Amino acid sequence: MVDLSLRLGVVAAGPQPILPLAASHLTYATASGTWVGPVDLTIGQTGATVVLGPNGAGKSILLRLLHGLLEPTTGSVSWNGRPLDRDTRRRQAMVFQDPVVLRRSVAANLRYALRIHGFRGAALRDQVDEWLCRAGLTQLARRPATVLSGGEKQRLAVARALCGRPEVLFLDEPGANLDGASIIAIEDLLRAARDGGTKLILVTHDLNQARRIADDVVFMVAGKAKERAPASQFFDAPATDEARAFIDGRIVL
């Protein structure tokens, strides 16, 4: 279904890497209360960081703060010491829990993203074909993206995010509401991207997904990062009570 025989590779973009990503004393508050923070966090170069925690922990908001879709109430986010700018924006991408597809064909969705990253003409067409192939969507190329199943849409969203060769890919609960086969297909894509050099920062409340993908874990409860550890260490020997409760499947408040 998903063809990973073609190697994924990160395009060498700017002269300077954009990682590590650092959050400094980050909070996010609205009239209803403080949703996140304060959070101090540094995310480095390798592998997949999973932000794990129960529902309502503020994971999705943290993700959006890091990606620059939300303005923090206090604190700052920096990319290798620099604030978010146009260049840094273009070198990261995000996939949302409900995939957003444009009201065009599947191929046109990919073309849209590729154009933004400067592809034109024959190179553009080749890239479209390549990514359709990798996402297993070649048969659906001319279909309107809106009539795809949930799993197909999410595969499209992931392909669209990856086709610009981002150095960092944020994912907000990418497997939620999807069937098992789609989840596997998407995780295969993500693993290939990670192996090709893309940093994954993935939010999930699904413990099993975290086990499958994570290289290191940020565990969040009630808006704060309670624990930070490499994956094996976190799952085998969690340091905090809340983490232990979460892994055991008990409700964490």
The CB density around residue 150, as the number of other CB atoms within 10 Å, is 14
Cβ at position 105, least distance to another protein in Å: 6
Q: Which of residues 92-121 bind another protein (CB under 8 A)?
A: 93-94, 96, 100, 102-105, 112-113, 116
**Minimum CB–partner distance for residue 103 and another protein (Å):** 4
What's the min distance (Å) between Cβ of 162 and another protein?
A: 12
Query: Can residue 244 be called a binding residue for another protein (CB under 8 A)?
Result: no
**Binding of another protein by 143 (CB under 8 A):** yes
Cα–Cα distance for residue pair 159/155, rounded to 1 Å: 6
Question: Is the CB of 54 or the CB of 138 nearer to another protein?
Answer: 138
Phi, psi of 202 (to 5 degrees): -125, 130
The residue (of 6 and 69) whose beta carbon lies closer to another protein is 69
User: CB of 143: closest distance to another protein in angstroms?
Assistant: 7
In this complex, which beta carbon is closest to another protein, that of residue 49 or of residue 92? 92
The least distance separating another protein from the CB of residue 253, rounded to whole angstroms, comes to 29
* Smaller CB separation from another protein, 104 or 211: 104
Q: Are 59 and 203 in contact (CB under 8 A)?
A: yes
> Shortest distance, CB of residue 84 to another protein, whole angstroms?
10
CB of 22 to another protein, least distance (A): 20
**What is the C-alpha to C-alpha distance for residues 158 and 109, in angstroms, rounded to an integer?**
11
How many residues touch another protein under the rule CB under 8 A: the total is 20
Beta carbon nearer to another protein, 113 or 202: 113
Of residues 53-92, those binding another protein (CB under 8 A): 64, 67, 69, 86, 89-90
In this complex, which beta carbon is closest to another protein, that of residue 25 or of residue 115? 115
Establish if 38 lies at the interface with another protein (CB under 8 A). no
Please give the distance of CA 137 from its chain centroid, rounded to a whole number: 20
Residue 141 burial (C-beta neighbours within 10 Å; 0-12, 13-18, 19+): middle
Q: Two tokens at 43?
A: 């995310």
Given a contact cutoff of 8 angstroms between Cβ atoms, the answer to whether 192 and 5 are in contact is no
Do 95 and 171 contact (CB within 8 A), yes or no?
yes
Binding residues for another protein (CB under 8 A):
64, 67, 69, 86, 89-90, 93-94, 96, 100, 102-105, 112-113, 116, 142-144
